[in-house]
Amino acid sequence: MLVILDYGIGNLTSIKNMLKRAGFDSRLSTDTEEVASAEKLILPGVGHFDYCMTQLRKAPFWDMLHKRVLEDKVPILGVCVGCQMLMESSEEGREAGLGWLKGKVVRFNKGRIGDLKIPHMSWTDVEPAPGHPLYEGIEEPRFYFVHSYHVQAENPQQVTGTAEYGYRFTASVQKENIQGVQFHPEKSHRSGMRLYTNFIKNY
């Protein structure tokens, strides 16, 4: 069972609809037992980092989520702020992140992007790490981004994709069964559909 974690935040229906178009059944769930039996998990996130983390901690499946990811090694994909939440902290707020990957979330450096606007809101090419399974078969990896902050992983080997917005920044990360993408696959048409397919089939 593929579970989209429902803690009251994120493009839940959009993700579910994209997965359905890709041919996969999924379930929006707040239920601890469903999280306990999930074969794969998706962690959405939209808006302010602190609010997302606060709401996630209130979710009934909070403790089970840690067990499934850290002990059972269930594959999980964080999307947008869901990707940022995988890190230890964010410049956007004071709440601690999940800390599953070492590193932090930083605001785009205005001094380095020049006249470009914050937030970064556009279709942008992503350069995947060579041969990475999440991007398998995506001939033109171009995805839709909406964000003012991006992750900085402490370990560069955990960076699986980068993009350019005034300077090169991290677009996706992975540590073992834990993955995150800064962009919105559910808004990225064929590339996004293939990326979700790859996550489900390759992990």
Share of residues in the chain with pLDDT > 70 (%): 100
- The per-residue pLDDT for 10 is 77
Q: Which long-range contacts (CB under 8 A, 24 or more apart) does 63-71 make?
A: 64/32, 64/35, 64/36, 65/5, 65/35, 65/41, 68/35, 68/36, 68/38, 68/41, 69/41, 69/100, 69/177, 69/178, 70/100
Overall average pLDDT of the 88-100 stretch? 97
Q: What band does 96 get if pLDDT is binned at 50, 70 and 90?
A: very high
Q: Is the pTM of this model over 0.95?
A: yes
Where do the structural domains in the chain lie, given as residue ranges?
2-202
Active site residue 184: yes
- The per-residue pLDDT for 72 is 98
Active-site residue (options: 34, 136, 186, 189): 186
Active-site residue (options: 52, 80, 92, 120): 80
Active site residue 80: yes
Domain 2-202, second-level architecture:
3-Layer(aba) Sandwich (3.40)
Active-site residue (options: 48, 92, 184, 189): 184
Active site residue 83: no
Quick: pLDDT tens for 52-64: 999 999 999 999 9
Q: Residue 175 pLDDT > 90, yes or no?
A: yes
Average pLDDT of the chain, as a whole number: 97
Quick: pLDDT tens for 108-161: 999 999 999 999 999 999 999 999 999 999 999 999 999 999 999 999 999 999
